Structure 1
Amino acid sequence: MSNITLSSATRQNLLVAQDTAALLSTTQNRLATGKKVNSALDSPSSFFTAQGLDNRAGDLSNILDSISNGVQVIQAANTGITSLQKLVDNAKSVANQALQATIGYSTKSNVSTTITGATASDLRGTTSYLSAQATSNVLYDGTAANGAAVSGTTKLGAAGTMTGGTITGATGATVLNTGGAAAGFGDGDTLTVNGKTITFSKTAAPTTSTVPTGYGFIASSNVATDGNGNSTVYLGANGNVATISDLLSAVDLASGVSSASISAGAATVATATGETASNVASAKIVLNSATGADLQISGKADQLKALGLTSSTGSGTATVSVTRTTAAGSLGTLLQDGSTLNVNGKTISFKNAAVPAAANVASGSGKNGNIVTDGNGNSTVYLQGGTVADVLTAIDLATGTQTTTNASGSATLKTATGATNSSVATNGSLKISTGTLADLNITGSGNALSALGLSGNAGTDTSFTAARTSTPGGLSGKTLTFGSLNSGTAVNVTFGDGTNGTVKTLDDLNTKLALNNMQASLDASGKLTISTTNDYASSTIGSAADGGTIGGTAATLFSTAQAPVADVNSQNTRKSLLSQFNQILDNIKSTAQDASFNGVNLLNGDTLKLTLNEKGSSTMNLIGVTFDPAGLGLTRLGQNGLNEFEDISSTNKVITSLTQASSALRSQASTFGSNLSVVQNRQDFNKQIINVLQTGSSKLTDADLNEEAANSQALSTRQSLTVSALSLANQAQQSVLQLLR
């Protein structure tokens, strides 16, 4: 070939054609492979750098497979934990059913005592009350020179006397409107005597058959009376029949000096025992008050002056009075008619009258001495014969110190058991018994309080009070102790009034007992029962196993503690729940064993080791847990004859273990979740690094296809041009060849 001679132009074109063919071949190779560096010959630096990047990306891709398996192992464990959590919740539901079941014992262990009168507000029981005695002010009688000390026989009242002026020739038989009297009483005139009315009528005296309804005619007189102190004095048709004796008889009926009983229009008049009738002596009218009330007469002044009772004159009203006079046998301050004492809600009334006969006593009431009592503590003391002793008897009936049996108008008295009747001390003070029914409280009206020395030292007190002597019930002051029952707080209480740390109410006692797993109840009969709470229904108070030994000064009052009595039906129900619980534990075990992936089980104690980079310098060890029942702190129930659901306390212990297991599952789920997050984060990181490496490798070796396509097109054009140029270069030789032909 070297002997062939080519023209310069041809040779030049041939070289160009060869270069173009070589470039075109390179471009077509790049378009075919997509790489601009296909071997170390193309670019050693880029080739080997890209190869190193691709190798690392491949190594990381292999690690990604391991990491992906690790992710699945963790997810399998997490799925297992979710299932285990549901099973633990199911077990807790079974335990809660046991809590809601009927208490497993028909009778819990208890001690009891009966305290008479004990109530929820006061456990001490009935307070025993003893009658006490309260002392009044010293009372004196009406003796001159400050008087002497009174006694039980001292009278409550005394009479008073007033002597009028001389009426010339007057006697009891003197006619009112003639002679020396010349009183001038007319038809319809009246006198008022201690609130009673004496009316004068200018008519003839009636007979028993013509006397006004409700009145009785007094024989041998000119007076008719209604029996209540109101009277009519008949002056006669000519106004001069009635006598001074008739008037005085009417005054005595009004003042209570005398009394009248009415029957069939006739009035029988009698001067009350101890009273002195008004009369005429030495031509003077002598007016006597009743011992139970002062005498007060109001009427026309001229009429009273004509009777020698006043110096006032005229037709206006004048008043004359007779004040009772105290004496050695009467109180220094006489009781006023109508005064009252209110003793513990009962009423004692003081009345200006003589005590009625038994036959005249109201139905249901009874007479004793100078009092009449209704049998319910209410009494009337009759002042015309009443004594200090009568007042004390009435007070005792009001307080219950004495009781009465009333029959046929008579009252038979009896002193209450343990009581002492009220009495008069030798110094003249009243010793008043309170009785046992209530503390003593005496108020009064009129002058009853002051006259009886019950108005205090200053005489201004409005009540007289005294407290009974009281002795609290059977538990008062006693102590009760219980040792610690099932790890509770030992109890030490003292029964009292609730102050200074003492226990009075049932609520107070229960507050103390609750800390020691005990409770108290009280029934209507006063039976106080202290028992274990429902939580510890299986416990026995005072046993060696459970504790709670009773002691203290009150211990002897309580019964011996008995063991609880099991409720067979309830216990069988609870035992059936044990079986359900154990089945769930079996499922927990199998679920934990099945939570594996590719032979690795993080819930069965396996450890997962993950390599996170191609050099093995970054690793993660996931240490597994053992989440079978034992690993979760759960054990099978009902073993060796036990019944962990027998009472609330033991059931709560099971629930506590389930709660702890649930907490362990949640905690481990959180740990696995955190680990899974780390692994998944590394997995994503490796994927991104592989992409970075592969991209870097591609940038070093990959061809720009757009550029290579353009190069190919340009080279093809150049090749065509080169061929045309080579053809032109050969045309000169062809011309020579033409000549040779």
Structure 2
Amino acid sequence: MTGIVLSASVRQNLLSLQSTADLLATTQNRLSTGKSVNSALDNPTNFFTAQSLDNRASDINNLLDGIANGVQVLQAANTGITSLQKLIDSAKSIANQALQTTVGYSTKSNVSATVSGATAADLRGTTSYASTVATSNVLYDGTAGGTHAATSAITLGATQGVTTGATATAGDGSTALSAGITLIANGAATATGLIGNAQPADGDTVTVNGHTITFRAGAAPASTAVASGSGVSGNIVTDGSGNSTVFLGTTAAPAATVGDLATAIDLASGVKVAVNSAGAATISTSAGETASDIGVTTASKVTLRSSTGADLNVTGKADLLKALGLTSSVGGGNATVTVARSTSAASLGQLIQDGSTLNVNGHVISFKNAPVPGSAGAPAIPTGSGKSGNVITDGAGNSTVYLQAGTVADVLNAIDLATGVQSATIAANGTATLAAASGQTASSVNASGQLKISTGVNADLSITGTGNALNALGLAGNTGTASAFTAARTSGIGGISGKTLTFTSFNGGSAVNVTFGDGTNGTVKTLDQLNSQLQANNLSATIDANGRLTISTTNDYASSTIGSAAAGGVIGGTLTTALTFSTASSPVADTVAQTSRANLVSQYNNILNQIDTTSQDSSFNGVNLLNGDQLKLVFDETGKSSLNITGVTYNSKGLGLAALTGGVDFIDNSATNKVLSGLNSASSTLRSEASSLGSNLSVVQVRQDFNKSLINVLQTGSSNLTLADTNVEAANSQALSTRQSIAVSALSLANQSQQSVLQLLR
């Protein structure tokens, strides 16, 4: 090939084509890579500078994943704090529910003393009281003419009413009626029971003065089979209160007699009385009463008698009462027989009705048609009560006056017991000894027949009533229609003005030093003013209508005892020398309320368990900022820019919350408020940490955005140093292609010229 000789033009064209090809390859490489600098040969400075920028951008980009993970760790912690805050709010709701539930004690610790004449408007008792006498209308006895004044010995009962029926015979029409005649016939032709249509049937009833007599078929039960509290006597089972069941026997073997029915009527009317013991009834005629009879007073006739304490009213089947000769009515419907008492010089002219009551200053006096308990044949005196005359009293101002033998004097004694003019001392045997209170005069009846009622000093006199008691005792006003009898006590000067009352600090409250006065210059006059002083020491005061001042703990400290070593609140001052305060009582727990509060303790502890598990679960990728872990984030490729986030331990213990104990926590409002205080502190702690996490999260997100922007800046700078201008390179490519085409054409022309010379040589 070395023997080939090229002309200068061909060689020049070949060199031009080679140069163009090289330039074209370089241009095409730039277009394909988009860079004008693809190696250090292109531009060493730009190439290595761009490579440094790209390397830094790559290093920073590698840090973004760690930063993104850090953001998620912070988000997980923030989510955990949000959930913990909700759980804290739920615990607060439980504690507030404990505050709103019933106080855990039915009775709070208290001390009390009576300030004579004190009221809520004036605690000083500036008015002391003396008893006055209130006068009733004139009472008359039953002497004919109705103008004879009654005395204290006049009885409340009256002469028994008597009615005797027509002559009656047994069911055979020829046998005279007697107490032994059975109520049902035995079915034989010579039957001596009541006539067929008069015979009681199983379930029939007779009503006597509001009490019920029930007829039952069959034999009376044994004493061991009667209901508790009832007793059996012959063919009669009685409850001891006037209600009876008469057992008829059977048609073949009749049992109950007309005499049994008369006895049952007398039990209901109060003429007779039954004392029940171990299922047996002992029936006897009440003292001073005469029993009803059949054929004794008048042969073949039924004689019914009321008691002295109430008129008699008998309602039963007409045929039965007609068979007894007591009515002319016939048929299966009811008929009524009444027997009225007769008043006399020994009784009130207007008789008090059985069941009437008087309400005297809030105490109840009941009037009852029965022999007084403890008398011959009567029931025993109720346990805890005492008997004085014909009055049974509970010793606290409530009494029952028994009408059969009671007197006006008994009524006055009962009124005095209610007003406090007299007091009753009850002995173990049930005897009540009455005595007038110091400086008091017992009520009485004056010569004109008026009741002279002492008001006493405890309260103004107020008497209301039911039935006809007010009217019968002349207490219904001049028209006899008044619904109340009232009288005021006399008043005088007295009180506790100038006396002081002190309490040491009670459960951390402010010690109290109260001086009673007219309400000025720091003195206390009203109940509201006293409570304003006591409130700061966790105490409160009340006063009742009798001037009894009671100072007790507030609901917040219902479990504490006033004056105890643990709580404080020792009472003192000159007032305690003028008044005798009771010993501080211990609080009495309300079982139902404490059970409810114990249930709330259980709910609260469940919330704490959820707080513990929530704090443990607030992790991301193994890092938990709420469980004491730490997070370190690196922001630049040198490691000099970083952020260290120290975690916290926010389980229940870390938040300062401890599990509660039933019977210790939530037992009163104070214990509950302590729990609420801890919850509020925990809530503040969570909010503070949430703020801190939010600040850190903001920093991390700013650096994350900064790094992304910086990577873009570095990559843009690198690109600026190495990227090709595609427009220029495209133009160069086009120019070089044209140049190459021209060079090829020139080479072709040069070759043709050389060929022509060679042809001449041939």
TM-score by length of 1: 0.53
Q: Residue 127 of structure 2 corresponds to which residue in structure 1?
A: 127
Q: Residue 740 of structure 2 corresponds to which residue in structure 1?
A: 719
- Displacement of 1:406 in angstroms is 12
Q: Residue 14 of structure 1 corresponds to which residue in structure 2?
A: 14
* Alignment deviations for residues 161-202 of structure 1 (CA, whole Å, 9 cap, x no partner): xxxxxxxxxxxxxxxxxxxxxxxxxxxxxxxxxxxxxxxxxx
Question: In 2, distance between residues paired with 1:80 and 1:38?
Answer: 52
Q: Residue 612 of structure 2 corresponds to which residue in structure 1?
A: 589
* Alignment deviations for residues 435-483 of structure 1 (CA, whole Å, 9 cap, x no partner): xxxxxxxxxxxxxxxxxxxxxxxxxxxxxxxxx996421x222211000
* Alignment deviations for residues 493-547 of structure 1 (CA, whole Å, 9 cap, x no partner): 1112223322111111001000100000111121111001111111110000000
* Alignment deviations for residues 143-169 of structure 1 (CA, whole Å, 9 cap, x no partner): xxxxxxxxxxxxxxxxxxxxxxxxxxx
Determine which of 579, 586, 594 is the counterpart of 2:602.
Answer: 579
Q: After superposition, where does 1:237-636 map in structure 2 within 5 Å?
A: 471-473=493-495, 475-556=496-577, 557-636=580-659
Q: Residue 644 of structure 1 corresponds to which residue in structure 2?
A: 665
Alpha-carbon spacing, 1:645–1:407, altered in 2? closer, same or farther (3 Å): closer
Q: Residues 118 and 127 of structure 2 are in contact (CA less than 8 Å); yes or no, is this contact kept in structure 1? A: no
- Displacement of 1:129 in angstroms is 8.9
* Alignment deviations for residues 99-134 of structure 1 (CA, whole Å, 9 cap, x no partner): 11100000000001111211111101142499xxxx
- Displacement of 1:709 in angstroms is 1.8
Identity %: 70
Question: In 1, distance between residues paired with 2:549 and 2:587?
Answer: 18
Q: Residue 74 of structure 1 corresponds to which residue in structure 2?
A: 74
Q: Residues 109 and 585 of structure 2 are in contact (CA less than 8 Å); yes or no, is this contact kept in structure 1? A: yes
Q: Residue 63 of structure 1 corresponds to which residue in structure 2?
A: 63
Question: In 2, distance between residues paired with 1:531 and 1:702?
Answer: 92
* Alignment deviations for residues 575-608 of structure 1 (CA, whole Å, 9 cap, x no partner): 0111111111011001101111111110001111
Q: Residue 401 of structure 1 corresponds to which residue in structure 2?
A: none
Q: Residue 112 of structure 1 corresponds to which residue in structure 2?
A: 112
Letter in 1 for 2:623: V
What SS class does the counterpart of residue 64 from structure 1 fall into?
helix
Letter in 2 for 1:614: E
- Displacement of 1:83 in angstroms is 0.7
Question: In 2, distance between residues paired with 1:115 and 1:493?
Answer: 16
What SS class does the counterpart of residue 587 from structure 1 fall into?
helix
Question: In 1, distance between residues paired with 2:513 and 2:570?
Answer: 12
Letter in 1 for 2:583: T
- Displacement of 1:642 in angstroms is 4.5
Question: In 2, distance between residues paired with 1:26 and 1:71?
Answer: 47
Q: After superposition, where does 1:84-103 map in structure 2 within 5 Å?
A: 84-103=84-103
Letter in 2 for 1:671: S
* Alignment deviations for residues 328-364 of structure 1 (CA, whole Å, 9 cap, x no partner): xxxxxxxxxxxxxxxxxxxxxxxxxxxxxxxxxxxxx
Q: Residues 57 and 715 of structure 2 are in contact (CA less than 8 Å); yes or no, is this contact kept in structure 1? A: yes
Aligned residues: 406
Q: Residue 667 of structure 1 corresponds to which residue in structure 2?
A: 688
Question: In 1, distance between residues paired with 2:617 and 2:712?
Answer: 37
Question: In 1, distance between residues paired with 2:104 and 2:671?
Answer: 12
Letter in 1 for 2:679: L
Q: Residues 516 and 523 of structure 2 are in contact (CA less than 8 Å); yes or no, is this contact kept in structure 1? A: yes
- Structure 2 residue ranges without an equivalent (≥5): 131-444, 449-489
Q: After superposition, where does 1:193-212 map in structure 2 within 5 Å?
A: none
Question: In 2, distance between residues paired with 1:407 and 1:642?
Answer: 67
- Displacement of 1:740 in angstroms is 4.2
- Structure 1 residue ranges without an equivalent (≥5): 131-404, 409-467
Q: Residue 427 of structure 2 corresponds to which residue in structure 1?
A: none
Question: In 2, distance between residues paired with 1:75 and 1:406?
Answer: 96
Q: Residue 204 of structure 1 corresponds to which residue in structure 2?
A: none
Alpha-carbon spacing, 1:483–1:47, altered in 2? closer, same or farther (3 Å): same
Question: In 1, distance between residues paired with 2:545 and 2:708?
Answer: 83
Question: In 2, distance between residues paired with 1:32 and 1:739?
Answer: 50
Q: Residue 160 of structure 1 corresponds to which residue in structure 2?
A: none
- Displacement of 1:3 in angstroms is 4.6
**Is the aligned partner of 1:680 residue 2:701?**
yes
Q: After superposition, where does 1:724-739 map in structure 2 within 5 Å?
A: 724-739=745-760
Q: Residue 674 of structure 2 corresponds to which residue in structure 1?
A: 653
Question: In 1, distance between residues paired with 2:663 and 2:586?
Answer: 17
Q: Residues 127 and 491 of structure 2 are in contact (CA less than 8 Å); yes or no, is this contact kept in structure 1? A: no
Letter in 2 for 1:599: G
Question: In 2, distance between residues paired with 1:540 and 1:590?
Answer: 40
Question: In 2, distance between residues paired with 1:649 and 1:597?
Answer: 41
What SS class does the counterpart of residue 621 from structure 1 fall into?
strand
Letter in 1 for 2:494: P
- Displacement of 1:23 in angstroms is 0.2
Alpha-carbon spacing, 1:2–1:699, altered in 2? closer, same or farther (3 Å): farther
* Alignment deviations for residues 590-633 of structure 1 (CA, whole Å, 9 cap, x no partner): 11011111111100011111111111111111011110001111
Question: In 1, distance between residues paired with 2:447 and 2:573?
Answer: 54
Q: After superposition, where does 1:26-45 map in structure 2 within 5 Å?
A: 26-45=26-45
Question: In 2, distance between residues paired with 1:573 and 1:606?
Answer: 40
Q: Residue 410 of structure 2 corresponds to which residue in structure 1?
A: none
* Alignment deviations for residues 400-448 of structure 1 (CA, whole Å, 9 cap, x no partner): xxxxx9999xxxxxxxxxxxxxxxxxxxxxxxxxxxxxxxxxxxxxxxx
Question: In 1, distance between residues paired with 2:530 and 2:603?
Answer: 40
Question: In 2, distance between residues paired with 1:637 and 1:614?
Answer: 52
Alpha-carbon spacing, 1:128–1:567, altered in 2? closer, same or farther (3 Å): closer
Alpha-carbon spacing, 1:476–1:95, altered in 2? closer, same or farther (3 Å): same
Letter in 1 for 2:538: N
TM-score by length of 2: 0.52
Alpha-carbon spacing, 1:571–1:619, altered in 2? closer, same or farther (3 Å): same
Question: In 2, distance between residues paired with 1:612 and 1:558?
Answer: 77
- Displacement of 1:643 in angstroms is 2.5
What SS class does the counterpart of residue 9 from structure 1 fall into?
helix
Question: In 2, distance between residues paired with 1:484 and 1:40?
Answer: 92
Q: Residues 126 and 497 of structure 2 are in contact (CA less than 8 Å); yes or no, is this contact kept in structure 1? A: no
Q: Which has the larger radius of gyration?
A: 1
Question: In 2, distance between residues paired with 1:662 and 1:104?
Answer: 27
- Displacement of 1:489 in angstroms is 0.1
* Alignment deviations for residues 63-95 of structure 1 (CA, whole Å, 9 cap, x no partner): 111111111110010010011111111111111
Alpha-carbon spacing, 1:128–1:596, altered in 2? closer, same or farther (3 Å): closer
- Displacement of 1:646 in angstroms is 0.5
